[in-house]
């Protein structure tokens, strides 16, 4: 049997849910705030420092992804995707980067700040989703 066609409003709402569920919003706030905290601590970054910040974030995603998937490749999407909107604000991630900026000089501080903010963001999101799954019996 064919599924009934969805109205334009239903399709829009479904697409909007997908956009909201894509953790990009929380991560964008986290990484932008981390960059500003580090800029305050170290001054404006030079191009090599910007590149090192970028590399720190990419390495953090690779490390957490490898831990999550048990290696460097994997598939996901077997469960319905859910988001906890209350978890979209990650002050802890920015706070960790701010703390590190007070104890680490700028050359290693830029990539380290991006790394610790990214790792803490991803770990907190994973913990929030795991906690939400406990309540649903999954």
At residue 45, the pLDDT reads 93
Token pair for 11? 């399709």
CB 114: neighbour CB atoms within 10 A? Answer: 25
Residue 97 placed within a domain = yes
Is residue 62 a part of any domain in this protein? yes
- Angle at CA of residue 68, ends 37 and 118, nearest 5°: 5
As for how many domains the chain has, the answer is 1
72 within some domain:
yes
Predicted pLDDT at 52: 93
CB atoms within 10 A of CB 136: 7
Could you tell me if residue 35 is inside a domain? yes
Q: Is residue 17 part of a domain?
A: no
Q: Is residue 1 part of a domain?
A: no
Residue 120 belongs to domain spanning: 29-133
Name which of 117, 106, 114 is nearest 42 in CA terms: 106
**Which pLDDT score is estimated for 42?**
95
Query: What per-residue confidence (pLDDT) applies to 35?
Result: 94
Cα 35 from Cα 45, distance rounded (Å): 9
Q: Helices 47-69 and 24-42, interaxial angle, to 10°?
A: 140
In a domain, 65, yes or no: yes
**What pLDDT is attached to residue 23?**
63
Q: pLDDT value at position 126?
A: 76
Q: Quick check: is 15 in a domain? A: no
Query: Which residues in the chain land under pLDDT 70?
Result: 1-3, 14-23, 72-90, 129, 132-138
- By the 10 Å C-beta count (0-12 exposed, 13-18 middle, 19+ buried), 113 is classed as buried
């Amino acid at each position: 049997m064919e599924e009934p066609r969805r109205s334009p409003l239903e399709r829009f709402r479904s697409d909007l849910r997908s956009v909201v569920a894509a953790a990009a919003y929380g991560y964008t706030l986290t990484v932008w705030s981390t960059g500003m905290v580090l800029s305050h601590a170290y001054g404006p970054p030079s191009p090599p420092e910007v590149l090192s910040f970028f590399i720190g974030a990419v390495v953090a995603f690779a490390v957490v992804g490898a831990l999550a998937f048990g290696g460097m490749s994997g598939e996901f999407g077997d469960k319905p995707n859910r988001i906890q909107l209350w978890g979209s604000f990650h002050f802890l991630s920015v706070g960790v980067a701010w703390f590190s900026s007070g104890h680490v000089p700028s050359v290693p501080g830029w990539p380290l700040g991006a790394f610790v903010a990214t790792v803490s963001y991803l770990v907190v999101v994973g913990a929030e989703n795991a906690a939400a799954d406990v309540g649903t019996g999954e």
